[in-house]
Structure 1
Amino acid sequence: MTSVNASPAVERSAAIDIRDLRVDYGDFVAVDDLSLTVPRGEVFGLVGPNGAGKTSTFRVLTTLMMPTYGDVFLEGVDIQEDLESARRIVGYMPDLAPVPSDLKIWEFLDFHAAAYGLGTKAQRRERVAECLEEVALTDQRNKWCKELSRGQTQRVVLAKTLLHRPKVLILDEPASGLDPLARRDLRMTLQRLANHGATIFVSSHILSELAEMCTSVCVMNRGRLLASGTADEVRHQLGSSERTLTVTLLARADEAASWISSRHAVRDVRSSAHQVVFDFNGSDEDQAALMEDLIHAGFRVRTFEEKRTSFEEILVEVAESNRRS
């Protein structure tokens, strides 16, 4: 058995540690000096427009290609120094992974379980059953793969990815083309896997989709990391902390609009019969103080609503910056 080469400098709590990763295709730079750490047990999202470098990053993480330079550690294992151990640690679900039309679901999974060397026939059967239960397909085990819906196909491929109990799951656009119910089921499955100790690195070009299922996210563009952290932290790092606030009052909306206009971090105030709408770029503390002071000033507030810049709008801004530059 190949020994595990773990770097003593690798952060002990890190499931994925990427350092100065670069991927070139001739003169084209797909990944440009990417450094990123993903802690154990997280559902970590990678988002970016097409051509951002997401798939190239994943291909390196899953040992399907070697980087131009840089280092990647999975659970402390240097993937370039110990390929065999790295491949035991990682499970990869590519975008639009095919399944054979002439096999039943259980046959497809049993074939891959045998390829992984998962013990005897009885042991493989038991593991296949466990993975089918994990993705809620136990009652479909005898269904032909050619009869599967898009959502069922995604779940079968996820079950295949789980067979060898990988500690790190790399999922490239797993929710692509799924309906809302299937996305909800996928989200619940990923959260359950993370709760059981797996670390999940998942990509999408739909940021709101990742925000629903991930504990942290990062944004890439043109091969570079633009922001990383919680959803709110990413908003702030990308300069999208501004929000639109709507105050509904029982009376005196025009007076309230004039009062609000004089406050810190307020701009573009609009009023109607019972509402005042304005843009606000202050902190959460500033927003709480504004609401409190508005009430203390004698205005009778019925509702106070917030609308933040959507993740899709943030991503559109990132993509449009590509075209301008």
Structure 2
Amino acid sequence: MSIIVETKDLTRRYGNNIALDHLNLQIPQGAVYGFIGPNGAGKTTTMRILTTLLLPSAGEAWVAGHAVVKDRLAVRRSVGFMPDFFGVYDAMKAWEYLDFFAAAYEIAPARRPKLIDDLLALVDLSHKRDADVMGLSRGMKQRLSLARTMLHDPALLILDEPASGLDPRARVELRELLKELRSMGKTIMISSHILTELAEMCTHIGIIERGKLLASGDVETIMRSLQPHRTYTVHLLSDPAAAVETVRGLPHVLEVRALPDATPPQIEIDVEGDDQMVSELLTRLIQAGTQVTHFAGQVSNLEEIFMRVTEGSAYGGTN
């Protein structure tokens, strides 16, 4: 898989304060990359450097193969940036807002009407085409801003806290829109300090704290590195004690336990091994006459991952 974003020892200082500390980051093309960290961790600073709005103090960064310092124009053609808040002129309609930025991107006037209509349809704002931008709800403003990032058809979308301040319905709508954009082949880098906002949409994550990248990679790999074994919950119609004895001592079974008072009867199995080992385990249970109605692995969420990665840091645990 090709890399669309890469940084090498990226550093940014504000006086004596270090906002980014030798950041080494890679984002694969086609990923939805969740950039996670508390407020002040360095997320926005990273994004502003990647969009050429801020110069690094040291280190290097590339977007779509272009150096952010030496080839700024090419980077800007490759990136659509959505800041956490955006401003507009008073008395500007939604279509006028998009037309203004289309002109800034040097899109030919003849192309603009259809492009604007298509983007408004994509973000479900066709019915607000002639509405005053300042009169739109927060969620509609976010979707309009996202349409603006798409005007020049960038390969990479960088979204800074896009769900901030949105109501639950608007967050669901935004999540579905991001899924649609990924299906269109876009790479999306999205930041948030609210982990649940990213849980259902990210293929990759990076965890940053005090300017240092603590972990980065695809979600499954990070989860496996933090939890080498997997735990499976098994629902039964038969005797759980017999099921425990069936799997206890089998290769790759670390521990098995019956869950007291569970309805229906259940056992939990800690398994060390690949999917083939898990399949063989289930086969052994069924061959022994165990009546299995449910067999599923327990999945860690982003909050658990974040707390494990930051354990011992100033944000995530004890000093």
Structure 1 and Structure 2 fold alike (TM over 0.5): yes
Distance in 2, matches of 1:41 and 1:213, equals 13
Deviations 1:53-81 (A, max 9, x none): 21111011011111121111122211111
Alignment-derived partner of residue 230 in structure 1: 218
**Native 8 Å contact 1:21 1:34 kept in 2:** yes
Alignment-derived partner of residue 174 in structure 2: 186
Q: Pick from 39, 45, 63 the counterpart of residue 56 of structure 1.
A: 45
The answer as to 2:11 corresponding to 1:14 is no
**Native 8 Å contact 2:214 2:309 kept in 1:** no
Residues 22-101 of structure 1 correspond to what in structure 2 (within 5 A)? 22-100=11-89
Counterpart amino acid of 1:103? M
- SS of structure 2 residue aligned to 1:22: strand
Alignment-derived partner of residue 203 in structure 1: 191
The answer as to 2:238 corresponding to 1:247 is no
The answer as to 2:270 corresponding to 1:280 is yes
- SS of structure 2 residue aligned to 1:322: coil
Q: Pick from 269, 279, 295 the counterpart of residue 304 of structure 1.
A: 295
Give the aligned length: 312
* Alpha-carbon shift at residue 154 of structure 1 (Å): 0.6
Q: Pick from 130, 137, 162 the counterpart of residue 142 of structure 1.
A: 130
Counterpart amino acid of 2:138? R
Structure 1 residues 145 and 242: alpha-carbon distance in aligned structure 2, compared to 1, 3 A threshold: farther
Distance in 1, matches of 2:87 and 2:231, equals 44
Structure 1 residues 185 and 268: alpha-carbon distance in aligned structure 2, compared to 1, 3 A threshold: same
**Native 8 Å contact 1:218 1:228 kept in 2:** yes
Distance in 1, matches of 2:227 and 2:210, equals 20
Deviations 1:197-250 (A, max 9, x none): 43322222344543432333333333233333332112123x135554332222
Consecutive unaligned residues of structure 1, counting only runs of 5 or more, are 1-10
Identical-pair percentage? 41
Counterpart amino acid of 1:64? L
Distance in 2, matches of 1:168 and 1:151, equals 22
Structure 1 residues 210 and 307: alpha-carbon distance in aligned structure 2, compared to 1, 3 A threshold: same
Q: Pick from 157, 161, 164 the counterpart of residue 173 of structure 1.
A: 161
RMSD: 2.8
Counterpart amino acid of 1:70? G
Structure 1 residues 99 and 316: alpha-carbon distance in aligned structure 2, compared to 1, 3 A threshold: farther
Structure 1 residues 252 and 69: alpha-carbon distance in aligned structure 2, compared to 1, 3 A threshold: same
- SS of structure 1 residue aligned to 2:10: strand
Structure 1 residues 304 and 96: alpha-carbon distance in aligned structure 2, compared to 1, 3 A threshold: same
The answer as to 2:102 corresponding to 1:102 is no
Alignment-derived partner of residue 5 in structure 1: none
Counterpart amino acid of 1:182? A
Alignment-derived partner of residue 212 in structure 1: 200
Distance in 1, matches of 2:131 and 2:310, equals 41
The answer as to 2:117 corresponding to 1:129 is yes
* Alpha-carbon shift at residue 51 of structure 1 (Å): 3.3
Counterpart amino acid of 1:293? R
Distance in 2, matches of 1:162 and 1:186, equals 15
Structure 1 residues 51 and 260: alpha-carbon distance in aligned structure 2, compared to 1, 3 A threshold: farther
Deviations 1:104-149 (A, max 9, x none): 21222222223333333x4433332232122121121111223212
Consecutive unaligned residues of structure 2, counting only runs of 5 or more, are none
Alignment-derived partner of residue 295 in structure 1: 286
Alignment-derived partner of residue 243 in structure 2: 256
Q: Which moved more, 1:73-82 or 1:247-256?
A: 247-256
* Alpha-carbon shift at residue 162 of structure 1 (Å): 1.6
Distance in 1, matches of 2:257 and 2:84, equals 43
